[in-house]
Structure formats: structure tokens, C-alpha cells
């Protein structure tokens, strides 16, 4: 549990705070530095590139220094990057710090699959993986609280607060997570069973499309529904609160299996998207945020559990592959939806995205009995 607590702290700050702080504080930064929409968009895209670089660097660093090393690198990137943004005298330093802070999320999440494989009994791993992942929900609550204070303080203080949180989380991680050796060559060279990963990766694409659409347009939908300027911060906080249900993802997985929980979470995210697209006032917007939080956090927790389930010998590598697929999906999705919104309208695109998520969830659920029958047939022939 100590390792999971350290992981929850680092993941919570990197994913729940540093990754989303740029969008939350962007209007104030644009006003101070006179940033154009084009430059702001380029910086936002660059933060995703930093995230991808972190993801791709994880297996290399794990192989050389062990699974705790990338989490320490990520904690340092978060603390340093947020500090640079908070103190930035010009757009160049601001952009560099934002990219560095964004890269933290790429370094810190997947390695805990390997950490927990080494320190926890198999029966406890799903619950502990859920604890690590649900740190994101706590981080989103913290980010929302900082955002609600934004009208009264400088945006720089928001980033400074995240920098302090990142430094504290990194220190806690070093104290609670043991320094483990690199994996044995035999384990590191074990082949990945890509056929087993196919369904989790298909789920990953559908899941990341849905949550990317929601996070991209939640603020715009809130504005169209007539909410105040501080509403986006409240939306983030409510997403985090709704996501705390993911602490019980391990129990859900034991009851329904990873595929069943994945299908349910994808359906919940789809319902939240439909609610946001149909919202005409505050109750539906804020309600959709709570619903989204539950599907978002359970969906990400079960992805960590699912990849560890199908690749028990190389859980970190399998999870990294899924996250890379998710990152690429997150980069492509806004370009596609951005081309549709001007013609179809924001509400229509949100509802259609929700319908696609619900349909994907139904297809995933329908395929569960078929895959179970295939597994039983294979077991009888071996």
C-alpha cells in the first residue's frame, strides 16, 4: 500500500494537475503575454509531444535503472516545468516549462504496473493499481480548487502551487516506493502477446476519443449553456469528485472482469458526452461532469488492470503501449472534431461522440461471451 500511495501522489499531480493546468490558465496567460491562438495551440500540441516522449522513454529507463527511476524523472519534470511557467518572463520560457510539465504524465504512470508486480501479491494488484490511477481524481479536485481561486490570485500562483505539490509528491514517492532493480533479461525479453492486447487496445482508442472530446469542449459547452467564467474550474473539481469511485475498480473487475468494467465505463463516458451536448443550463453541465468523472477514472484504472491481466510478465510494457495508442488518439481526435464542429455544431458533435462511445461499449459487452467461449475451448484442447 505504501508504493501505491506514493504512486497516487505523483500520478495525481502529473495527470490531475500539471497536464490540465495549461488549458485552465490559458486565458490569463494569453492576456499577459499577448499570445495568439495559433501559438497557444502549438504549445498545447507540444505538451502532448512531451507526454509521448516521456511514454517512449519509460521502457528504456526501466531497463537500465529499474521501474522507480521514470517516476522520479516525471516528478522532477513536473516540479521544474511548473516552476518555469510560474516564473516565466517571456513566452519561450513559458512554453518550455509547459512542455516539461506535460511530459511528467508520460513518465510516471505505466512504471507502477512493474512496481506493484514486484512488491504486491497478485490478488492485491488490481486494487493497488486502481489506487494509483485514482490519484488523478484527487489531483483534479485540487486543480479545480486552485481554478476557483484564480479570479482572486495570479495565474502564476496556480502554477506555483502545482510546482510545490509536484515536489512534495516526488519526495513522498522516493520515501514510499522501493528502489527496484531493472527486470531480468529473461523477463525483459519475454514476447508480448499482441493478440491478447488487441481488445484492450481497441477499447483504448474508443475510450481516449470520448474523453478527449469531453475535455476539449467542456469549457465551450459550459459557456454556451450560460455558466459563469469560473465554471470550468468547477467542472474539473466535479470530474475529480466523481472519479473517486474508481477506488473500487479492483472490486468491480473481480465481479465483472476487465472487459465488463471497460464496457461499463465507456458507456458512462458516452452518457456524459450526450448530457453535455444536450445541456441548456448548469444542472446538466455539472451533472455530466460528475458522471464523466466516474467513467473517466474507472476507465483509466481498468486499463492498467486489464493490460496487467493479459500480460502478467510485462505489465509495464503492455500498459505503455496502450498509453502510446491513447496519446496518438488524443492528438488526432481534436483535429477531426475541430473540422466537424463549425458545420454540425458543438452540441451535435458531442452527442454523436457520445453515441459512438455507447455503441462501442455495447459491442465490447456483446463480444465478452464469445471471447470467454473461445478461451474455454482453447483450455480444453491444451
Condensed to tens digits (0 to 9), the pLDDT of residues 130-176 reads 888 888 888 888 888 887 776 777 889 889 999 999 999 999 888 88
Same structural domain for residues 299 and 380? yes
At residue 77, the pLDDT reads 93
The sign of the dihedral angle between the CA atoms of 206, 305, 7, 298 is positive
Same structural domain for residues 267 and 362? yes
At residue 371, the pLDDT reads 58
Same structural domain for residues 209 and 300? yes
Angle between helices 111-119 and 37-65 (to 10 degrees): 30
Domain that holds residue 46: 1-178
Same structural domain for residues 320 and 174? no
Looking up residue 373, the CATH number of its domain turns out to be 1.20.1250.20
Condensed to tens digits (0 to 9), the pLDDT of residues 339-355 reads 888 888 888 999 999 99
Same structural domain for residues 29 and 89? yes
Q: Which residue has the higher pLDDT, 18 or 184?
A: 18
Confidence band for 216, pLDDT divided at 50, 70 and 90: confident
Q: Which residue has the higher pLDDT, 301 or 23?
A: 301
Query: How many folded domains does the chain comprise?
Result: 2
Condensed to tens digits (0 to 9), the pLDDT of residues 286-322 reads 899 999 999 999 999 999 899 888 888 788 888 888 9
Condensed to tens digits (0 to 9), the pLDDT of residues 186-205 reads 455 556 667 778 899 999 99
In a domain, 342, yes or no: yes
At residue 353, the pLDDT reads 93
User: Residue 281: is its pLDDT beyond 80?
Assistant: no
Distance separating the N- and C-terminal Cα atoms of the chain: 37
In a domain, 184, yes or no: no
Q: Are 354 and 272 in contact (CB under 8 A)?
A: yes
Q: Which of 152, 178, 204 represents a domain boundary (last residue)?
A: 178
Q: Which of 178, 207, 226 represents a domain boundary (last residue)?
A: 178
Could you give the CA distance from residue 301 to residue 293 in angstroms, rounded to a whole number?
A: 12
Q: What pTM was computed for the model? A: 0.83
Number of residues that this document lists for the chain: 382
In a domain, 300, yes or no: yes
In a domain, 86, yes or no: yes
At residue 280, the pLDDT reads 76
Condensed to tens digits (0 to 9), the pLDDT of residues 38-66 reads 787 788 778 888 888 888 888 888 888 88
In a domain, 183, yes or no: no
User: Residue 374: is its pLDDT beyond 60?
Assistant: no
In a domain, 186, yes or no: no
Same structural domain for residues 220 and 166? no
For residue 208, give every residue at least 6 positions away whose Cβ sits within 8 Å of its Cβ, in sequence order, or none. 325, 326, 327, 329, 330, 333
Amino acid at each position: 500500500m505504501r508504493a501505491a500511495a506514493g504512486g497516487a501522489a505523483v500520478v495525481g499531480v502529473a495527470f490531475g494537475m500539471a497536464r490540465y493546468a495549461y488549458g485552465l490558465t490559458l486565458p490569463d496567460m494569453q492576456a499577459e503575454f499577448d499570445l495568439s491562438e495559433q501559438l497557444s495551440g502549438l504549445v498545447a500540441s507540444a505538451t502532448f509531444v512531451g507526454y509521448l516522449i516521456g511514454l517512449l522513454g519509460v521502457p528504456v529507463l526501466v531497463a537500465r535503472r529499474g521501474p522507480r527511476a521514470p517516476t522520479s524523472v516525471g516528478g522532477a519534470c513536473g516540479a521544474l516545468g511548473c516552476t518555469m511557467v510560474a516564473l516565466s518572463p517571456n513566452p519561450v520560457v513559458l512554453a518550455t516549462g509547459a512542455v516539461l510539465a506535460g511530459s511528467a504524465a508520460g513518465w510516471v504512470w505505466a512504471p507502477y504496473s512493474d512496481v506493484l508486480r514486484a512488491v504486491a501479491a497478485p490478488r492485491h494488484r488490481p486494487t493497488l493499481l486502481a489506487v494509483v490511477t485514482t490519484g488523478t481524481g484527487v489531483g483534479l479536485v485540487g486543480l479545480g480548487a486552485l481554478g476557483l481561486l484564480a479570479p482572486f490570485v495570479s495565474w502564476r500562483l496556480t502554477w506555483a502551487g502545482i510546482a510545490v505539490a509536484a515536489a512534495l509528491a516526488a519526495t513522498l514517492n522516493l520515501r514510499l516506493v522501493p528502489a527496484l532493480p531493472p527486470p531480468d533479461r529473461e523477463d525483459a525479453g519475454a514476447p508480448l502477446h499482441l493478440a491478447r492486447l488487441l481488445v484492450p487496445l481497441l477499447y483504448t482508442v474508443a475510450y481516449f476519443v470520448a474523453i478527449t472530446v469531453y475535455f476539449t469542449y467542456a469549457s465551450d459547452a459550459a459557456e454556451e449553456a450560460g455558466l459563469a467564467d469560473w465554471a470550468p474550474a468547477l467542472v474539473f473539481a466535479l470530474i475529480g469528485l466523481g472519479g473517486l469511485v474508481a477506488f473500487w475498480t479492483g472490486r468491480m473487475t473481480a465481479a465483472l472482469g476487465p472487459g465488463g468494467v471497460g464496457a461499463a465505463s465507456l458507456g458512462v463516458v458516452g452518457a456524459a458526452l450526450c448530457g453535455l451536448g444536450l445541456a441548456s443550463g448548469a444542472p446538466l453541465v455539472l451533472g455530466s461532469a460528475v458522471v464523466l468523472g466516474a467513467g473517466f477514472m474507472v476507465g483509466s484504472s481498468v486499463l492498467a488492470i486489464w493490460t496487467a491481466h493479459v500480460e502478467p510478465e510485462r505489465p509495464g510494457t503492455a500498459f505503455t503501449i496502450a498509453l502510446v495508442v491513447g496519446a496518438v488518439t488524443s492528438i488526432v481526435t481534436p483535429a477531426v472534431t475541430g473540422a466537424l464542429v463549425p458545420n454540425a455544431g458543438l452540441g451535435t458533435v458531442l452527442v454523436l461522440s457520445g453515441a459512438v462511445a455507447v455503441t462501442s461499449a455495447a459491442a465490447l459487452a456483446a463480444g465478452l461471451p464469445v471471447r470467454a467461449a473461445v478461451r474455454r475451448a482453447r483450455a480444453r484442447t491444451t
